[in-house]
């Protein structure tokens, strides 16, 4: 990576973008799966069955992490843009990352 | 050699306070005119106006007066200033500061009640220096630059003027020959009026403060045209330039005056204070006294590893120092020095040239069509420039020049034919280094810096000056026989180094000759063989000019047109 | 002032989605316990006005929000400009909205 | 001989170029600008670069040093050298003229486009306006003002690289300062430009600008201010359209 990008707030930008991109790519798939219910509960269940697989569990963890990360990162940006300036931007970015990880772990622990 | 030709109404050389103000005023006075700025660096990013730290002198504070500002200027200048110019300076500074604030948007610091803050500056009987923190120049020049860019003035950035070209009969100025530094091509710009505002800059001394682009080009060009230069022996030294070794460009840069004012100590190489034995005010004595004392210590060999003295602040408490001088402390820290807690090596450093082209108070010269303003013009400061009068001088007279040039260019519907022989000769001259065997210009530069520092520096005497003159002549010959490694003219810095040296050596010769001619000690000029100031009533100033290839210096009596020595414009004095 | 409008739309949708996403995260963590089953999900959502409005609002806002986000990425990383970008974004937005509303209908049912 | 540093310097012009290595003796007091000067004076006289003030006031000497934009006259070698090696390139996001000197025209053109100049209503014949240094507007304007137009922020911003029209952090920072200047009367026009398609909404708060600004200015905060200001303006306009 180019040296000027190795700076925590650029990383925060990059994570926000990649998580948003990840979510946006996942969204059609998510809608498709839920749409299966149009064909009845069984169709959806057939699919949800997959989610018992450990690998899929882990992928779900990833998705929740992305969502939480983008959510907290988004809050950070909304605050940056709309509240009086604070010099703690690096701290907020770190908190957003930690909170996302925390939420995703909570999900994983409940899932297994 | 080929060259391109352009035409413009008003041509301005340099984009410091003088050049940019001239452009604004010329455009405003007559929007029909085409105004062109040619500058050696990028617009507003080169020159010394940007480097102004202290501030701008103006009699705007309640209780202060233009007369008081004027008297301080005359007394500070040891009765040598041209009084009409000094008066014009003090009067117009008021309008100029209001213009800077109201029309250009400068932010000068305020008192709590919202009025302008005026700070004290050495040599003045009233607190009259307006400022923006300690980065006043950045504020002034950035605001000027924005306004000029918004006007769509014709810009010739990185164009170096190399010769003022007169008409064939020599009666008027026809244009300016320059090098487009980015392509290496030559350009002749014909103009109805030309402003020389290249800002002098005594960078021929071992230690100096001005920006790297300043190399006395303007004065060298004026000299070649036969114009007179006055007060050329008056080189102001700032007592505390940073000393960090020969091979760093940090060396020579200013450590601010306030450090001494706040109680900083100067220590010799053994760590002993020495200022008390030179002046009762010790470190708080004026610039010239402190510079001379340090120079004397250096000559006596009581020096630091790099050959200077120390400035020490830590006894005031490192936190206090860091809080009071944040900019200075940070700058030193960036360069690897601990100003707040340790000692920093310092040395007197050449700061400003009071001398310059002889002009009238409305910036006209002896040659029709040529105007001069700013540090290139002589007269306003006499033997010594007050801190805060430098930027006032460039902005005041730059604006005046803009008005004058617009008036003249607007009423003239023709361009004067340039003397093409002279153009060709100047091009040939500038091409000299490409025709010579490769040589070492660095060694010439090094020797020039030392010759001027040792022989025509802070302390002078006839022997030293004469020896310097001999060496300068030899350096000149050597330079003419020194060629460059690279014959590509595109952005060729080494070529420009060569051209800089040419200007610097030429003007160094003038400084030496003027210094030899002044047989007394006034202001910035100190002759150990003539330590007395001489009678004020028969004060004279020097004028140097080149006449049939020979440099001549004459003395002219100062005309006390407004106030005579012993008198004052102030009632209580 | 296209960019200003898009900015406003993206921030407004983000603000609307924030509580929705928080709710969604909460429900997910709560509901995942013991695995997911279609019955479990659909029992909660079918015929519920609350979930209908919630999911409907989410789908509408996310279609706008994500499309604008993707537009930035397409512009900046893939250097798309002009009509190509516009048409592509309309397709993305319309697609998300259609499949999203279809999913809402699937889990909540028609009103 | 003193220890030496290996310096990889980018050589070339608008058409491209490559790195050339030099060995430069290290010195106790030595900035990146000194290293470059040493090369030009002693090793390769054809090296081109730009500087003026040498004290961090003119913003002429910025270059990429080990990939990060810096003012070279105030960057001590010890601070940035890695394994006795330095890489020096021309500033990013601007066209190169030759070697380390780039063409800053577009940077200033954008400054102009952003209405980065003061437009007041009082004249040189009037006294200077009384402005309390404590007023919040003045403080906001003041916080953004000490810019030396070095384009370091401009070089650090990826949005500038991705979107050639983007006005960039320095021009917007200047505009923000002016939007808070009580004496200026062009604020409506300026807001229209900075809220326009090349303006503040392009910024994704990457914050390279505020991280690397040598004067510790904060263009990110200024741009956020402009975003707020334009949002208010946008909503007011909508409101007025609806309610006459
Ligand atoms: C470090 C420092 C601090 C100072 N502090 C103060 C202070 O606090 N108060 C004060 O009043 N004064 C101060 N001064 C002095 C003040 O800066 C100058 O007196 C004043 O700014 C000179 O303005 P000018 O327009 O004449 O020249 P400059 O601002 O120096 O501009 C000269 C211009 O001419 C250009 N030029 C040079 N040669 C050529 C050529 N051959 N062709 C084309 N262009 C050329 C240069 O590139 C530059 O753009 C300070 C000076 C320095 C160096
Ligand atoms: C699942 C739902 C979401 C999806 C698919 C999504 C998708 C995206 C995408 C693709 C981007 C573009 C990223 C970029 O330009 O760098 C983006 C940006 C953004 N998102 Fe989301 N997002 C979602 C939810 C949210 C939420 C809940 C919030 C607020 C809390 C939010 C706040 C933001 C913000 C503020 C930006 C702008 C970033 C910028 O322009 O710098 N997003 N989103
Ligand atoms: S904001 Fe900072 S980095 Fe950007 S141009 Fe100004 S001084 Fe340089
Ligand atoms: S780096 Fe660029 S993205 Fe915004 S915060 Fe600074 S302008
Ligand atoms: S040379 Fe002026 S900022 Fe570095």
Asked if D204 lies within 8 A of A17 by C-beta distance, the reply is yes
Q: What is the mean pLDDT of each run of 10 residues along chain B (573 residues)?
A: 94 98 98 98 97 95 96 96 98 98 96 95 90 95 98 96 96 98 98 97 97 98 97 97 94 92 94 95 90 95 95 95 90 90 96 98 97 98 96 98 98 96 97 96 97 97 98 98 94 97 98 98 97 96 94 97 95 70
Side-chain-side CA neighbours of B32 within 13 Å: the count stands at: 6
Residue B324 vs residues B318, D180, D212: alpha-carbon distances, Å: 10, 27, 25
Indicate if D122 and D172 belong to the same structural domain: yes
Nearest to D58 among B45, B244, B254 (CB): B45
Indicate if D69 and D189 belong to the same structural domain: no
pLDDT at residue B123 in the model: 81
Angle (deg, nearest 10), helices A54-82 and D219-243: 80
Quote the domain boundaries for residue D39: 4-102
Q: Which residues in chain C are contacts of A111 at CB distance < 8 A?
A: 32-33, 35
Q: Which atom in ligand 3 lies closest to the alpha carbon of residue D209?
A: 3
Q: What is the pLDDT of residues C54-103, one digit of tens each?
A: 999 999 999 999 999 999 999 999 999 999 999 999 999 999 999 999 99
Q: What is the pLDDT of residues D67-121, one digit of tens each?
A: 999 999 999 999 999 999 999 999 999 999 999 999 999 999 999 999 999 999 9
Q: Other CB atoms closer than 10 Å to residue A3's CB: what's the count?
A: 13
Length reported for chain B = 573
Final residue of a structural domain among D76, D102, D128: D102
Final residue of a structural domain among D59, D78, D102: D102
Residue D1 clears pLDDT 60, i.e. is over it: no
Indicate if D110 and D228 belong to the same structural domain: yes
Q: Calculate how close chain C gets to D196, using CA atoms only, in Å.
A: 5
Mutate to test the pocket of ligand 5, among D31, D35, D57 (most ligand atoms within 8 A of CB): D57
Cβ partners under 8 Å of residue A43, min gap 6: A36, A37
pLDDT at residue D244 in the model: 64
Q: Report the neighbours of C using a cutoff of 3 or more CB pairs below 8 angstroms.
A: A, D
Nearest to A81 among D207, D212, D228 (CB): D228
For chain D, the straight-line distance linking the first and the last C-alpha, in angstroms and rounded, comes to 80
How much of chain D is helix, strand and coil, in % rounded to 5? Answer: 40, 20, 40
Residue D41 clears pLDDT 90, i.e. is over it: yes
Which of these, D212, D190, D210, D188, lies nearest to D200 by C-alpha position? D190
| CATH placement of domain C2-108 | 1.20.1300.10
Going from the Cα of D59 to the center of ligand 5, the distance in angstroms, rounded, reads 5
Indicate if D35 and D143 belong to the same structural domain: no
Indicate if D153 and D217 belong to the same structural domain: yes
Output the CA torsion sign for D98, D101, D102, D104: negative
- CA gyration radius, chain A: 17
Side-chain-side CA neighbours of D192 within 13 Å: the count stands at: 4
Going from the Cα of A98 to the center of ligand 2, the distance in angstroms, rounded, reads 18
pLDDT category of residue A49 using cuts at 50, 70 and 90:
confident
**H helical segments located in B335-386:** none
Indicate if D73 and D112 belong to the same structural domain: no
Give dist(CA D184, CA B103) in Å, integer: 9
Indicate if D75 and D14 belong to the same structural domain: yes
Indicate if D27 and D141 belong to the same structural domain: no
Give dist(CA B14, CA B21) in Å, integer: 11
Indicate if D29 and D145 belong to the same structural domain: no
Domain count, chain D: 2
- CATH number reported for the structural domain that contains residue D29 in this entry: 3.10.20.30
Final residue of a structural domain among D48, D72, D102: D102
pLDDT at residue C40 in the model: 85
**H helical segments located in chain A:** 8-35, 41-48, 54-82, 89-111
Cβ partners under 8 Å of residue B565, min gap 6: B79, B536, B537, B539
Residue D2 clears pLDDT 70, i.e. is over it: no
Indicate if D84 and D115 belong to the same structural domain: no
DSSP A84: P
pLDDT at residue B392 in the model: 98
- Judged by a CB distance cut-off of 8 A, whether residue A88 touches chain D is no
- CATH number reported for the structural domain that contains residue D137 in this entry: 1.10.1060.10
Which site among C18, C33, C38 would you substitute to test the A interface, given the most A Cβ atoms closer than 10 Å to its Cβ? C38
Residue B106: helix, strand or coil by DSSP?
Answer: coil
**How do the domains of chain C map onto residue ranges?**
2-108
Give dist(CA D151, CA D166) in Å, integer: 14
pTM above 0.90, yes or no: yes
Q: Which atom in ligand 3 lies closest to the alpha carbon of residue D152?
A: 3
Q: Which residues in chain A are contacts of C22 at CB distance < 8 A?
A: 71
pLDDT category of residue C36 using cuts at 50, 70 and 90:
confident
What ipTM describes this predicted complex?
0.96
Going from the Cα of D53 to the center of ligand 5, the distance in angstroms, rounded, reads 5
């Amino acid at each position: 990576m180019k040296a000027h990008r190795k700076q925590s707030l650029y990383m925060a930008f990059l994570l926000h973008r990649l998580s948003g991109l990840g979510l946006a790519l996942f969204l059609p798939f998510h809608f498709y799966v839920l749409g299966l219910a149009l064909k009845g509960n069984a169709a959806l269940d057939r699919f949800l069955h997959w989610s018992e697989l450990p690998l899929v569990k882990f992928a779900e963890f990833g998705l929740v992490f992305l969502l939480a990360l983008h959510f907290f990162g988004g809050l950070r940006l909304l605050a940056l843009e709309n509240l009086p300036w604070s010099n703690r931007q690096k701290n907020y970015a770190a908190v957003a990352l930690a909170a996302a990880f925390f939420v995703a772990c909570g999900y994983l622990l409940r899932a297994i | 050699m080929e060259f391109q030709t352009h035409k413009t109404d008003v041509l301005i050389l340099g984009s410091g306070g003088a050049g940019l103000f001239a452009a604004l005023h010329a455009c405003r006075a007559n929007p029909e005119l085409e105004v062109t700025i040619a500058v050696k660096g990028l617009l507003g990013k080169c020159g010394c106006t940007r480097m102004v730290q202290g501030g701008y002198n103006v009699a705007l504070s309640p209780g202060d007066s233009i007369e008081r500002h004027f008297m301080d200027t005359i007394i500070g200048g040891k009765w040598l200033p041209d009084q009409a110019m000094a008066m014009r300076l003090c009067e117009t500074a008021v309008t100029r500061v209001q213009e800077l604030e109201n029309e250009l948007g400068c932010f000068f610091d305020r008192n709590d009640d919202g009025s302008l803050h005026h700070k004290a500056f050495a040599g003045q009987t009233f607190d009259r220096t307006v400022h923006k923190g300690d980065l006043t120049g950045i504020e002034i020049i950035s605001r000027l630059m924005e306004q000029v860019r918004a006007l769509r003035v014709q810009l010739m950035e990185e164009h170096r003027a190399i010769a003022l070209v007169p008409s064939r009969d020599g009666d008027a100025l026809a244009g300016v020959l320059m090098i487009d530094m980015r392509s290496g091509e030559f350009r002749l710009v014909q103009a109805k009026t030309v402003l020389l505002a290249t800002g002098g800059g005594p960078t021929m001394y071992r230690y100096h403060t001005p920006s790297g682009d300043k190399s006395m080009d303007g004065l060298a060009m004026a000299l070649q045209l036969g114009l007179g230069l006055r007060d050329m022996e008056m080189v102001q030294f700032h007592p505390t330039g940073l000393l960090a070794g020969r091979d760093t460009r940090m060396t020579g840069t200013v450590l601010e005056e306030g450090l001494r004012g706040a109680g900083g100590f100067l220590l010799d190489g053994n760590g002993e204070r020495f200022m008390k034995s030179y002046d009762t005010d010790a470190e708080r004595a004026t610039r010239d006294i402190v510079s001379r004392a340090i120079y004397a210590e250096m000559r006596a060999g009581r020096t630091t590893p790099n050959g200077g003295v120390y400035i020490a602040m830590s006894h005031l408490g490192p936190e206090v120092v860091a809080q009071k001088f944040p900019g200075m402390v940070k700058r030193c820290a960036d360069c690897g020095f601990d100003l707040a807690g340790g000692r920093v090596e310092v040395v007197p450093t050449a700061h400003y040239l009071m001398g310059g082209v002889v002009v009238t108070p409305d910036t006209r010269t002896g040659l029709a069509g040529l105007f001069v303003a700013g540090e290139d013009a002589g007269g306003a400061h006499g033997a010594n420039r007050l801190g805060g009068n430098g930027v006032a001088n460039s902005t005041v007279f730059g604006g005046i020049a803009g008005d004058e040039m617009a008036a003249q260019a607007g009423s003239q519907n023709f361009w004067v034919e340039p003397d093409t022989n002279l153009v060709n000769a100047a091009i040939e001259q500038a091409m000299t280094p490409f025709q010579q065997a490769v040589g070492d210009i660095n060694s010439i530069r090094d020797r020039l810096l030392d010759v001027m520092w040792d022989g025509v520096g802070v302390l002078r005497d006839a022997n030293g000056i004469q020896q310097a003159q001999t060496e300068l002549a030899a350096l000149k010959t050597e330079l003419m026989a020194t060629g460059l490694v690279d014959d590509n003219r595109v952005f060729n810095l080494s070529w420009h180094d060569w051209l800089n040296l040419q200007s610097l050596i030429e003007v160094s010769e003038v400084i030496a000759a003027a210094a030899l001619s002044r047989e007394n000690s006034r202001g910035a000029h100190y002759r150990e063989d003539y330590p007395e100031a001489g009678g004020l009533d028969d004060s004279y100033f020097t004028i140097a000019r080149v006449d049939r290839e020979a440099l001549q210096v004459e003395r002219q009596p100062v005309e006390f047109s407004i106030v005579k020595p012993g008198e004052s414009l102030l009632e209580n004095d | 002032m296209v960019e200003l409008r898009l900015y406003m739309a993206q921030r407004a949708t983000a603000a609307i989605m924030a509580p929705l996403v928080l709710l969604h995260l909460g429900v997910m963590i709560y509901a995942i316990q013991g695995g997911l089953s279609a019955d479990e999900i659909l029992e909660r959502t079918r015929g519920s006005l609350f979930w209908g409005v919630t999911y409907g609002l989410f789908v509408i806002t996310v279609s706008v929000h994500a499309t604008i986000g993707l537009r930035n990425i397409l512009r900046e990383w893939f250097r798309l400009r002009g009509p190509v970008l516009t048409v592509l974004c309309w397709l993305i937005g319309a697609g998300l909205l259609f499949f999203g509303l279809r999913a809402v209908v699937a889990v909540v049912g028609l009103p | 001989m003193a220890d030496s540093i290996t310096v990889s310097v980018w050589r070339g012009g608008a058409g491209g170029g490559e790195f050339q290595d030099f060995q430069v003796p290290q010195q106790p007091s030595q900035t990146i600008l000194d290293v470059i000067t040493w090369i030009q004076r002693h090793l390769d006289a054809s090296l081109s670069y730009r500087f003026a003030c040498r004290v961090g006031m003119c913003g002429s000497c910025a270059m990429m040093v080990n990939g990060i934009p810096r003012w070279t006259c105030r960057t001590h070698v010890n601070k940035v050298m890695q394994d006795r090696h330095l890489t020096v390139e021309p500033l990013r996001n601007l066209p190169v003229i030759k070697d380390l000197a780039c063409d800053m025209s577009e940077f200033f053109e954008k400054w102009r486009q952003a209405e980065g100049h003061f437009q007041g209503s009082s004249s040189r014949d009037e006294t200077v306006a009384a402005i309390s240094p404590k007023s919040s507007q003045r403080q906001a304007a003041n916080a953004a003002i000490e810019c030396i137009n070095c384009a370091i922020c401009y070089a650090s911003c990826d949005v500038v690289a991705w979107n050639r029209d983007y006005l960039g952090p320095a021009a917007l920072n200047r505009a923000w300062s002016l939007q808070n200047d009580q004496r200026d009367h062009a604020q409506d026009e300026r807001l229209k430009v900075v809220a326009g398609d090349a303006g503040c909404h392009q910024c994704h708060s990457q914050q390279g600008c505020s991280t690397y600004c040598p004067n510790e200015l904060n263009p990110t905060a200024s741009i956020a201010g402009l975003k707020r200001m334009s949002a208010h303006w946008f909503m007011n306009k909508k409101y007025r359209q609806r309610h006459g």
